[in-house]
Chains A and B, each alone.
Chain A
């Protein structure tokens, strides 16, 4: 399980860091009892706002795009299915960082060429990139989830006169959601972690703030250790939320 692996690796990392450098471990940079340490901690923690905002917006957009991309995959016509395959294969092949550069530096140029003058700030640059990059994966999750609903369900819907669209809306999707949610939640954790890349285009989220503090304090070990802990806490909270949701839905299924 992804979550356990992260927890385990982080603990190992922390223990190694502490034990390998007992003399040089400089707690003072992040000691909440001193003025300087407390200021530093507050500076780091304020990054949660941007990290969470970027992740949530990107996840919501990714789900909407993913569903729109997934639906043509169920067309009977081969040519209608093609856009789905092209989108998924193309977007999935682009690494996140190059795509981020392209969106942030390249997209405004393309838009200007089309006569639309926009500037993309780091916040929206990160949201757009994460949403696009992740949507190829959400589209595949939706497709697999919808395909996992037995064929007999669509056939039964057809025999009581439902159109394909209505069968999808009232019969297939409600059943697919139960199978889609767990992998979708996994994907959300992935987005949270990948949002760290927004730091390279100047977004002051968790990672950028840690970087800036390292430059002024020269304490990379302590500050990056705290940074990892920040992500760990965030992901643990999400995992707990997901498990609660799964339990609730599992209970609903057997009710």
Chain B
């Protein structure tokens, strides 16, 4: 994305954001609330519109993408409560990609295996724990075989003991070479997985760099202060 700006009425949420993510790269975005980090991810997912600048995916404009090319995982899971876990996973492939029911189910079960909950396929989302629900949400996005996976604070709504199981699944995914952009405050995860970390504040990317460099010696005072706060507790 180049020179992207966005306003809500008079309030500017994004200021001239330029960002390039290579295929296979893992980018972690962090920053205080209201810094615009969620907005960046939601823009890429096509959930928001921007007023200035361009966004391209592998050389094409965003609108021309195949449905489901960009997978999104939400903080609040957003599973479909009226459908079974299996139907949550097959809905997109069947209705948007035109797969047959049998093909979609085979694919869904494969991805449920991958997020380590094959035995929950017939249950409703409400019967699962938060961690399990988020893993289903990841599998649902994967079923569309996306080129890019977006995560918007995927562990922020979870109890501490469930955060690990979701992060493990995400690390597996990273190890398989998926291109990922992840908004999170899990700095341990960022250190282990991220190729680069971007720190956002007040609608700008203040600093971006490799984790070892950024953690050791943050260039900006704002980032240093932020790291200090979240790493201390």
* Residues of chain A having any CB pair with chain B under 8 Å: 150, 152-153, 155-163, 166, 170-171, 174-175, 178, 253-255
Contacts and interface: CB of A to CB of B under 8 A. Distances in A.
Given A152-B74, A155-B47, A160 B81 contact: no
Given A153-B78, A170-B95, A159 B126 contact: no
B72 A159 contact: yes
A161 B97 contact: yes
B144 A161 contact: yes
Contact of A159 (B45, B66, B79, B97): B45
B85 to A, nearest CB: 13
Contact of A171 (B47, B70, B80): B80
Interface string B78-122: 111110000000011001110000000000000000000000000
Nearest to B89: A160
A162 B91 CA distance: 9
A152 B77 CA distance: 9
Given A163-B96, A175-B80, A253-B81, 19 more contacts: A153-B78, A153-B80, A155-B78, A156-B74, A156-B80, A156-B140, A159-B46, A159-B70, A159-B71, A160-B68, A160-B143, A161-B67, A161-B97, A162-B96, A170-B95, A171-B80, A175-B81, A254-B126, A255-B124
B141 interface: yes
Contacts of A161: 66-68, 92, 96-97, 144
B76 interface: yes
Given A160-B140, A161-B144, A174 B82 contact: yes
B91 A170 contact: yes
Nearest to A169: B95
Most chain B C-beta atoms within 10 Å of own C-beta, residue among A157, A160, A166: A160
B47 A160 contact: no
B140 to A, nearest CB: 6
Interface string B52-81: 000000000000001110111010101111
Closest CB pairs A-B (n = 4) = A161-B67, A160-B92, A161-B96, A156-B78
Interface of B: 45-47, 66-68, 70-72, 74, 76, 78-82, 91-92, 95-97, 124, 126, 137, 140-141, 143-144
Contacts of B74: 152, 155-156
Interface of B, secondary structure class, is: loop
Nearest to B48: A155
A175 to B, nearest CB: 5
9 contacts: A160-B91, A160-B143, A161-B66, A162-B92, A166-B95, A166-B96, A170-B91, A253-B81, A253-B126
A160 B141 contact: yes
B141 A159 contact: yes
Nearest to A254: B126
Contact of A152 (B76, B97, B124, B126): B76
Contact of B79 (A156, A162, A166): A156
Contacts of A170: 91, 95
Contacts of B143: 160
A241 B88 CA distance: 31
Contacts of B97: 161
A155 B97 CA distance: 18
A133 B66 CA distance: 45
Nearest to A155: B47
Nearest to B91: A170
Contacts of B92: 160-162
Most chain A C-beta atoms within 10 Å of own C-beta, residue among B81, B95, B137: B95
Most chain B C-beta atoms within 10 Å of own C-beta, residue among A155, A157, A175: A155
Contacts of A159: 45-47, 68, 70-72, 141
Contacts of A254: 126
